[in-house]
A and B are shown apart, each in its own frame.
Chain A
């Protein structure tokens, strides 16, 4: 293991985080809040430490999959711990574990909160909370790759470990340009949302925070009732942008380089769209018995489906009180999640497509034992190794879910609460059902359960393996 390069990368991650902290500083300055000082101190200290760690460029910059996984996992942990300091230091979140839970929930774009009264927080803290979504959405290491001229091709391992999806490729030959293109698309979409929200008469501060929450598919609101209090126009804008941020960013890249045919023939985007529309229709029909207004129901169904499927977690209605079918469908959508290569979480539509294809292949193989069937995706043959890795992911996913579920059950809550708490954090959604539903929060869990859920959030965001690898003894063994 090449420790010096990992230290070097961590140093840069810290330097960037300190730069990010200047935004809440600025907010505090604008609204004349004293807590801005805490961010400033935190940023300066982090910057100094980060600088010390990067002052010496490692002589050996050999970098393999192992270093990539470890660097990414450690970066996220360091990021979370430092990010939690302002919450704790200001006393706005008095307990360290709660502060870490909140920040991990932010960086992993989960949006599960332990706060019961969000509106009592100072504005700079609220902004930092939402900003962590934006940072975590596209990934810090991707940001690092866009800015830092790192030599060597091995940095593909960094991007692979951080980006969601079964097979991460580059858009253009150079890693650095790929990362830049991704961040450019991300920033432009975010700015577009801010503008649309401001046009709808949303206050600028609210618009910025909501846009950060949508862009990272995070879901931290700045109001106790999330998005319900805003106008229909704003809710519709948020719905549309949630959906857009759940689309594979390759789609936007193809549109950008005018390869419209490639863009609109992307299998994953097509199925994402079909699943979304299908679920909205099903839920609208299902809930229409309860409330008379069809238009309103459609709006709520569209909002909630987008919020859950893209793993954002905003809410305009208490879907916990919806009929059982709608609740069940939402839980299923939590597992499916958004597209690979988007900012969303979950298992990703592309994996689900592959599982269905594999399932069909196995069924036909058991009928015709001599049948030969190749699995294709976007007209390309999927190699056995990719299929194997994707199925391996499913196994790991199931095991992590089951173990976490058992551990969280020690809290002695009902099955629905424990199960959806795990599902909502592992898939980076935020709200679950029952006692962790959209109107509730996660503060009721014990510290132990909170730690398990923190682990789940990180594991879910980094697609399990980077975090799991940290705990594997052979990672740390010599040779």
Chain B
């Protein structure tokens, strides 16, 4: 596809990088000439310097031939205007980042009136992601499929768990038949395991499970489940606001620590039920006074990555809480991955993921559609949900006769509301939703699970 990206900030760059990897033709527009020069010499894309919401600049970037324009500058108004102009000038699909809560409340109206195909709000997406994790406290990561009925949950194998030292093949007999391990992360390795893989304590494993069996499975594998009743949020950013709003609705007590007193007043006005503390979240005394040791969950959401990491490390030391760390710029992921900072949330990647999922789904009008897509383990693994079309190459063939790619696992078939862990005798049928986990990137159709040739 021909894609124009307006704004080359964190999200713009991440998008350009990942979409370029998927083989799309990218034109990026930014006001800053130096930024454009850097990005065009590291990625195989073309850059245009100028105001992305100007008609002339958009024409120069080839909006008349573009299939999609994504506006991700830091200003909502510019994004919306850029999309409006692109819609009129090029009649392409448009995606805008709209992050101001005020606009976001009326996003449906804006989307309809501006003809946006998709609007994204990284802060809201991050907050929603955190809220999901809070609801399943033991999960390090949680991705849902089939409209939330199936989850792919990442947990650490606890010491003394039945899973420690077990062969995957033996799990159904010894532990329970609903447990399918899809990804094993051991130190720096990522494995899409087969039956002979032996689990060890300390591995991070991703298990596919139906929502209703979740607590049962946790009990079996020895992961403690204690519902979260209160949360301490460091930093009163927009994410904190959205998160507090979601959690207050499900009766979790929320405490927000924010440095800026004006922001505190504002927060207390819009979140009357939350307790807002005006203080420095990096001050140990403040944290202890506000009961960091007793918190069920702690989310480090300040603007500084370094502060968030340190805060989470401290929280890990002094409390038993579930920890969530927001990191904007994941550099040095090798180091961060080893530190006990709990679940890592990266708004920029969430946004890129959402957009790529949209593009993959749109790209494929025949055969099978990508319904959901997640990039996991630092973009090394993709988990995809396909809606299987009526004429796909893979249907009505027993799975044992399909030549699947290596490092690919067909982990779940969702048919007429029932969830099935597939075995060799099962077949894929039209209308199924199939969930696949793989280290291959850029799968666009269910037939891509087959070995080429």
Contacts and interface: CB of A to CB of B under 8 A. Distances in A.
Interface of A: 65, 152-157, 169-170, 172-175, 177, 380, 383
Contacts of B43: 153
Contact of B46 (A154, A169, A383): A169
Nearest to B2: A173
A173 B25 contact: yes
A173 B27 contact: yes
Interface in B1-37: 2, 20, 25-27, 33
Residue among A153, A170, A172, A173 with the most chain B CB within 10 A?
A173
Interface in B377-420: none
B45 A383 contact: no
A347 B84 CA distance: 44
A170 B27 CA distance: 11
A156 B40 CA distance: 8
A174 B44 contact: yes
B196 interface: no
Contacts of A177: 25
B365 interface: no
Contact of A172 (B40, B41, B46): B46
Contact of B33 (A154, A172, A173, A383): A383
B42 interface: yes
How big is chain B's contact interface, by range?
10 to 19
A359 B20 CA distance: 41
A249 to B, nearest CB: 16
A386 to B, nearest CB: 10
B49 to A, nearest CB: 8
A153 B42 contact: yes
Contacts of B45: 153, 173
Given A172-B25, A173-B27, 7 more contacts: A153-B20, A153-B45, A156-B41, A170-B40, A170-B46, A173-B46, A383-B33
Nearest to B33: A383
A153 to B, nearest CB: 4
A153 B44 contact: yes
Residue among A153, A156, A380, A383 with the most chain B CB within 10 A?
A153
A288 B45 CA distance: 53
Contacts of B42: 153-154
B4 to A, nearest CB: 10
28 contacts: A152-B44, A153-B20, A153-B40, A153-B41, A153-B42, A153-B43, A153-B44, A154-B41, A154-B42, A155-B44, A156-B40, A156-B41, A156-B44, A157-B41, A169-B46, A170-B40, A170-B46, A172-B25, A172-B46, A173-B2, A173-B25, A173-B26, A173-B45, A173-B46, A174-B25, A175-B44, A177-B25, A380-B49
A383 B44 CA distance: 22
A332 to B, nearest CB: 33
Residue among B33, B40, B46 with the most chain A CB within 10 A?
B46
Contacts of A152: 44
B379 to A, nearest CB: 16
Nearest to A169: B46
A13 to B, nearest CB: 20
Contacts of B26: 173
B393 to A, nearest CB: 25
A155 B42 CA distance: 9
Q: Which 3 A-B pairs have the closest CB atoms?
A: A153-B44, A153-B43, A173-B25
A156 B26 CA distance: 15
A338 B26 CA distance: 31
B41 A173 contact: no
Nearest to A380: B49
B251 to A, nearest CB: 50
B35 to A, nearest CB: 12
Nearest to B45: A173
Contacts of B33: 383
Interface string B46-60: 100100000000000
Contacts of B40: 153, 156, 170
Contacts of A170: 40, 46
A262 B46 CA distance: 18
Nearest to A382: B33
Contacts of A65: 41
Contacts of B25: 172-174, 177
Nearest to B60: A262
Interface in B164-202: none
Nearest to A157: B41
Contacts of B44: 152-153, 155-156, 173-175
A60 to B, nearest CB: 16
Nearest to A68: B41
Nearest to B21: A151
A380 B57 CA distance: 12
B28 to A, nearest CB: 9
A65 B44 CA distance: 14
Contacts of B49: 380
Contacts of A380: 49
Residue among B25, B27, B41, B42 with the most chain A CB within 10 A?
B41
